[in-house]
Chain A
Amino acid sequence: MNKLIRFIPLILVLALGVVLYRGLSLNPQEMPSALVGKPIPSFSLPTLNNAERIVSTDDLIGDVVLLNVWATWCPTCKYEHPYLVDIAKKQELKLYGLNYKDERNAAQEWLTHYEDPYEFSIFDEVGTLGLDLGVYGAPETFVIDHHGIIRKRFAGAIDTRVWRTEFEPLIAQIMTERKQGK
């Protein structure tokens, strides 16, 4: 018994080592969104391409939706863009954009230049909807189910790997829920 006690400090140090080592591989930017499981916050904003057209929460509800927060000042959005174009082409779900704190002209130019994957982009010049969504940067992508409930928030760029691991399983799950009439 006494001999065992001698090893306690060693065991404690090893345990601490394991905990700290694990901590090294954690990503501190990866934070759970406070909005998962809640409905999309209500908003009423113009679209990017047509300042006269006002869209609201109702325009996003009904389908399985991907809401992508983007801006021309965001270099990662450029990286992500071709993958979004691919996703839009598959037509499995509705892809909407949230043009976040951007200039209208620059953003319109971007979409003509790089192809426009979005059904429409909400033009959020001051970032009010962004704030209500808890957005703190771009790109960010929200998965919204057919009831308008936010199911996931992903901060960072989407590419093939991220899409396969982070999004596909959840979207498949929502699709089956939808088929079952839930």
Chain B
Amino acid sequence: MDKLIFLVSKFVLILTIVLATSFVDVHASPVDTYEFKDEVTKIRFQALSKELRCPKCQNQNLADSNSPIAADLRRELYELLQQGKADIEIVDFMVNRYGEFVLYRPKVSELTYVLWFGPAVLVLLGIVVVILIVRRKPAKKEELALTSEQQDKLKQLLKDK
């Protein structure tokens, strides 16, 4: 009995350790210590650094990236916010330097039509195809039925077996 209790408690201990470590967030985000004049600016900073893409590490936003250029851009973003620049001005500032690429939601232009409207067009196309298939009239029963000649042939074949 003692042994059983020992085993159970050991099991529980191991389970606790495993669970505890699996809940540790291994995703390390860079930590900057910026102080904002108010809560709104802080939220705007967080929102913009998620909207803007790091030019060097292409699948990360400014908030997630550890690269030096992302740190520079976060600092620049912070300074622009401190200067009281509007969001649109900040976005333009970045686009003027790094191109449309820095936006996770690029502006609608000739270059991005496919990107913006492609999915909708594909969905519409799909709907049209489905409607066409559904509306196609099913063949009539008479058409499906065998003619008397075919019926005879069928009987013949079955007899041969």
Chain A interfacial positions (CB closer than 8 Å to B): 28-29, 31-35, 101, 127, 131-134, 136-137
Q: Which 6 A-B pairs have the closest CB atoms?
A: A34-B99, A136-B55, A134-B97, A136-B69, A136-B56, A134-B98
Contact with A along B37-59 (1 / 0, CB 8 A): 00000000000000000011010
| A-B contact list, 26 entries, CB within 8 Å | A28-B58, A29-B58, A31-B55, A31-B99, A31-B101, A32-B99, A33-B99, A34-B95, A34-B96, A34-B97, A34-B98, A34-B99, A34-B100, A35-B97, A101-B68, A131-B72, A131-B76, A131-B97, A132-B97, A133-B97, A134-B55, A134-B97, A134-B98, A136-B55, A136-B69, A136-B98
Chain B interfacial positions (CB closer than 8 Å to A): 55-56, 58, 68-69, 72-73, 76, 95-101
Contacting pair B56 A137 (CB below 8 A): yes
Q: What is the bound-complex CA distance between A31 and B97, given in angstroms?
A: 12
Q: What is the bound-complex CA distance between A72 and B110, given in angstroms?
A: 41
Contacting pair B98 A127 (CB below 8 A): no
Contacting pair A127 B97 (CB below 8 A): no
**Chain B residues whose CB sits within 8 angstroms of the CB of A131 once the complex forms:** 72-73, 76, 97
**Chain A residues whose CB sits within 8 angstroms of the CB of B69 once the complex forms:** 136-137
**Chain A residues whose CB sits within 8 angstroms of the CB of B96 once the complex forms:** 34-35
How many A-B contacts at CB < 8 Å in the complex? 33
**Chain A residues whose CB sits within 8 angstroms of the CB of B101 once the complex forms:** 31
Least CB distance from B95 to A in Å reads 7
**Chain B residues whose CB sits within 8 angstroms of the CB of A35 once the complex forms:** 96-97
**Chain B residues whose CB sits within 8 angstroms of the CB of A32 once the complex forms:** 99
Q: What is the bound-complex CA distance between A101 and B56, given in angstroms?
A: 16
Contacting pair A127 B72 (CB below 8 A): yes
**Chain A residues whose CB sits within 8 angstroms of the CB of B58 once the complex forms:** 28-29
Least CB distance from A152 to B in Å reads 14
With both beta carbons as reference points, the residue of chain B lying nearest to A132 in the complex is identified as: B97
Q: What is the bound-complex CA distance between A45 and B77, given in angstroms?
A: 22
Least CB distance from B154 to A in Å reads 27
Q: What is the bound-complex CA distance between A136 and B71, given in angstroms?
A: 11
Least CB distance from A74 to B in Å reads 11
Least CB distance from A109 to B in Å reads 22
With both beta carbons as reference points, the residue of chain B lying nearest to A126 in the complex is identified as: B72
Since A34-B96, A134-B99 are in contact, a sample of 7 more A-B pairs with Cβ atoms closer than 8 Å, ordered by chain A residue number, is A34-B99, A35-B96, A35-B97, A131-B73, A134-B97, A134-B98, A136-B55
**Chain A residues whose CB sits within 8 angstroms of the CB of B73 once the complex forms:** 131
**Chain A residues whose CB sits within 8 angstroms of the CB of B99 once the complex forms:** 31-34, 134
**Chain A residues whose CB sits within 8 angstroms of the CB of B55 once the complex forms:** 31, 134, 136
Q: What is the bound-complex CA distance between A101 and B73, given in angstroms?
A: 14
Least CB distance from A10 to B in Å reads 16
Least CB distance from A131 to B in Å reads 6
With both beta carbons as reference points, the residue of chain B lying nearest to A32 in the complex is identified as: B99
With both beta carbons as reference points, the residue of chain A lying nearest to B97 in the complex is identified as: A134
**Chain B residues whose CB sits within 8 angstroms of the CB of A33 once the complex forms:** 99
